[in-house]
Amino acid sequence: MGRPDLNRRHLLATAGGLAVAGSLAFAALGTGADALASGADTRVRYWNLFSGGDGANMIAMLDAFRKEHPGIDVKDSTLQWGNPFYTKLAMAAAGNHAPELGVMHMGRVAGFSPGRLLDPWDEDLLAKYGVRKADYNPALWNRGVIDGKLYALPLDVHVQLCFYRKDVLKKADLLGDDGRMIQVTSTDDWFDVLKKAKTVQKKGLQTIGLWTNDQNFQWWFFVAFYTQLGGTWFDDGDTEVLFDVDKATQVLEFFRKHVTDGYVIPGAPTGEQFINGAPFTWEGNWSVPVFSGAKLDYGATPLPPVFGKQATHAESHSFVLPHQAGRGGATNETAHELAAYVVTHAVQWAAGGHIPAYTPTLSTAAYKKLTPQNEYVSAMYHQATEPKVWFAGSTGVLAQDLGPLVVSSTMGSAKPAAVARTMKNHLTRLLASKNPMDGRTAAQGGAAA
């Protein structure tokens, strides 16, 4: 009776063993086949977070690169925008499975443990492929420099804009001779403009879209106007909070007034309302393809300088080299080549509304022809950015912490002055907190160097 039992067991064991061995063999074949398919090519894996119109533009640029460089195999992966992307990139870099090339928001670089999760760019290699510091706005370039090394190569600047409908503003006599919106230099001017626009606009729509319920947009707008007032965040050594509660209150009251004066319908979808005839909306420049696609007669300026000084919120998409233990050689050089190619061929990218960071692009005839891009290109030189500390950056800890506070003031759940004080308390706590990646505070981190 024992024999057949044993045989069956042997059979099972053998079958199991074969299955395991077989799958391993197939796996090996798989990688082999992959390698064979690309021949002697150099493979660059590239992770980005671009979907929608941006995604299509990026893929078009990659395809152009592939056509010109048949020997290079670009393997691009598009991942979900925002925190899921950064989590994946961090874990891949920590586990030594990082791609050769990645995209990040500039503001996130300081908190992304440059040196450990990110490798620095070789500026000589970049120069070989045509990208030099001299081709950039120095302030922008320096945002990517940490401890004297370049960790983020800027691709673009993306800014918050005031979109306006020319057809509506014309009726209210709010367009200048050049066909663009008249200049606004104070909050009184601004509310005057809104009042006039409201009298001629389609009924049932809001006058302006402010993303009153969105913690990201409200935070970005806050950074813009707080910077217009000359507000600062921390001292140079990141040891002291210089946040000005009075200035912050002024900004928060300005936002709130849009709601209390009835220019905003809280929660209304801003883009749709604009397309349907609402005179204004404040939006990221990435909405340009959406509004152009809807064939609207519209313009876009940087957020109005209602506090006297030009400044609009700006972030940058930048290329980074996620940390690889064995970075170097041909794949690393190819990563430099690809990034340099995309940066220097960014007219296509500008069609998505972004301002190319590589300044020679801005003076090309092709770029100058783009509307409304040519109307807000000046925003490149009036950037309001978050402080350069580890907890800042697009959808970072700072934005997640303070964004909801701004919303609570704009929506009327809390008084502006009280919210401004709470913001200062939060900033104090954040400044004292340690970066979990290296256990150092912003003052000890030296990331602002």
Partner 1 sequence: MTTSAETVIAPARTRTATATATATVRRNQGFQHGGWFVAPFLALFALFVVWPLLRGVYLSLTDANISGDGANFIGLDNYREALHDRAMWDALGHSAYFTLLVVPCITVLAFLLAMLAHHIERGKWLWRLCFFAPFLLPSTVAGNMWQWLFTQGIGLFNETFGLTTPWLTDKSYAMLAIVIETLWWTVGFSFLLYLAALQGIPDHLYEAAKLDGANAWHRTVHITLPMLRHITGLVIALQALASLQLFDQAVVMMDFGPGPELSTRSFVQYTLEQGFTSYRVGYASAMSVIFFVIIAAVALARMALLRNREEGTR
Q: CB-wise, 212 or 373, nearer to partner 1?
A: 212
Question: Is residue 104 near partner 1 by the rule CB under 8 A?
Answer: no
Q: CB-wise, 227 or 408, nearer to partner 1?
A: 408
Question: Is residue 444 near partner 1 by the rule CB under 8 A?
Answer: no
Question: Is residue 439 near partner 1 by the rule CB under 8 A?
Answer: yes
In one-letter notation, the amino acid at residue 426 is H
Among 267, 293, 308, 446, binds partner 1 (CB under 8 A): 267
Q: CB-wise, 93 or 126, nearer to partner 1?
A: 93
In one-letter notation, the amino acid at residue 165 is R
Whether 124 and 132 have beta carbons less than 8 Å apart is answered as no
Question: Is residue 113 near partner 1 by the rule CB under 8 A?
Answer: yes
Joined together, the tokens standing for residue 433 give: 């907190």
User: How many Å from the N-terminal Cα to the C-terminal Cα in the chain?
Assistant: 79
Instruction: Give the helix/strand (H/E) hosting 425.
Output: helix 416-432
- Residues recorded for the chain: 449
Cβ neighbors of 397 (< 8 A, separation 6 or more) are: 111, 391, 430
What pairing do the DSSP bridges indicate for beta strands 156-165 and 298-302? antiparallel
Q: Is the peptide bond before 304 cis (omega within 30 degrees of 0)?
A: no
Q: How far is the CB of 427 from partner 1 (least distance, A)?
A: 15
Question: Is residue 259 near partner 1 by the rule CB under 8 A?
Answer: no
Q: How far is the CB of 105 from partner 1 (least distance, A)?
A: 14
Size of the site for partner 1 (CB under 8 A): 33
Residue among 290, 225, 299 nearest 258 (CA): 225
Query: Which listed range, 71-79, 155-163, 333-341, 403-411, lies at the site for partner 1 (CB under 8 A)?
Result: 403-411
Question: Is residue 148 near partner 1 by the rule CB under 8 A?
Answer: no
Among 229, 407, 420, 431, binds partner 1 (CB under 8 A): 407
Alpha-carbon torsion (134, 136, 137, 138), positive or negative: negative
Q: How far is the CB of 217 from partner 1 (least distance, A)?
A: 12
Question: Is residue 17 near partner 1 by the rule CB under 8 A?
Answer: no
Joined together, the tokens standing for residue 43 give: 């493979």
d(CA 78, CA 81): 9
Query: Which residues form the interface with partner 1 (CB under 8 A)?
Result: 82-84, 86-87, 90-91, 93-95, 113, 116-117, 213, 215, 266-269, 272-273, 397, 400, 404, 407-408, 411, 413, 434, 436-439
